[in-house]
Chain A
Amino acid sequence: MRFTAFGVASLFALCLTIPVLAHHSHGNYDVSKWTVMEGTVKQVIFIVPHSIVYLDVKDDKGQPATWALEATNPQGIFLRGVKKEDVQVGDTIKVRCHLLRDGGKGCLLGFVTPMHGDKARGHGVEIEWD
């Protein structure tokens, strides 16, 4: 089989023009806005098709609540250079995510920045978890 440069370029262009849809709809999240939250990691579950981060966050009145943050699959996270030990229970992290439209305590990641002070575990480095 022979591939011409034009053929390969056409295939590449086609791939760029076909919108890739996710595993599931994101219609219940407001993907037009980013929300920044900082809190303490309660649990991280690396699992297919979507990993999850449970994050304890204090609201404007200082009341704590646990949020469920949806991430991509483990492979998608690790391929970006994240290691399991980078975000652990008890760590402080900052996230950027898309809130559930109905005000529920759920958010679509987004980006995670460890704020635990350990540079060896990626302190201060924002990485995409979506």
Chain B
Amino acid sequence: MRVMIPAALILALSQPAIAQDWARFVSPEDGFSSNYPGQPKIETITYTSQFQQPLPAKVYRAADALGRYSTTVVDYRNIEKLHADRAAKCQAAKGANQLDGDTCQNDFRMDVAGATDYAVWNLIKQDGIKLTSYMFYFVELVSGRLLQITNADKSRTFAAVHQHAGRLYIHQATVPSGMPEPILFMQSLAWADEKGLAIRYRTMYTEGYGEWKFPSPLPPHTVRDLTTSIDGTVIRPPAR
């Protein structure tokens, strides 16, 4: 008996699926959801912030025939206390030179405000890479940055960096040269509440600010004459 196999079936069999078993993964605990090829492996790490604070973090990793995928979630929510403690300890010791001054500055706000830039810097400072695209980006109106990189070995890396609800997210994928771009993974990031439901904002969310408006009302501030010093001391021209 001769069995006729349709040409389309032969073609289908000869072209195995390249991406397999992708499924939605939700982490209410870490406030996000994403698609991975299978269940991601979770690694607990310590992430060092720009101002050298050790922060608890987790890396969710998975891989398939197309590439490697990871979501790093860094918990910044205790960073104000870490910086306050460091500053208090520094002040008690009267600073590095026993003089205090700026050496005991509390850099809490700098560390939070610069977390995205610092994460981006760590991605682009590697030797031999070519940054092919870098832009403002958002996911469910949470602002961030998107980078597209050609690595020294011609592999491609896409990375999105966001800050949301006290955490830093570095969502990145690397595919070997010649493979399709890792869009399936990159475009799957979303935010989850404590019940695992997806969060979407009505206006642009930027860490450290409330409702995003343009032109925005000015945040609380002081005004001063530029002839005064930063602490309000009036600098007068020398008497003639």
Q: Which residues of A contact B71 (CB under 8 A)?
A: none
Contacting residue for B178 out of A50, A65, A91, CB 8 A: A65
Q: Which residues of B contact A90 (CB under 8 A)?
A: 8-9, 11-12, 15
Contact: B181 with A100, CB < 8 Å?
yes
A102 to B187, CA, bound (A): 17
| B interface residue count range (under 10 / 10 to 19 / 20 to 34 / 35 or more) | 35 or more
Name the CB-closest residue of A to B186: A24
Contact: B18 with A48, CB < 8 Å?
no
Contact: B135 with A24, CB < 8 Å?
no
Contact: B139 with A106, CB < 8 Å?
no
Contact: A100 with B148, CB < 8 Å?
yes
SS class, residues of chain B in contact with chain A: mixed
- B141 interface contact, C-beta 8 A: yes
Q: Which residues of A contact B135 (CB under 8 A)?
A: 25, 27-28
A106 to B186, CA, bound (A): 12
Contact: B18 with A42, CB < 8 Å?
yes
Q: Could you tell me which A residues sit within 8 Å of B by CB distance? A: 21, 23-25, 27-28, 40, 42-43, 45, 47-50, 52, 54, 56, 65-68, 70, 88-91, 100-106, 116
List the 8 closest A-B pairs by CB distance, nearest first: A106-B181, A90-B11, A102-B132, A68-B180, A102-B133, A52-B184, A68-B183, A90-B12
Q: Could you tell me which B residues sit within 8 Å of A by CB distance? A: 8-9, 11-12, 15, 17-19, 22-24, 35, 132-133, 135-141, 146, 148, 156, 178-184, 187-190
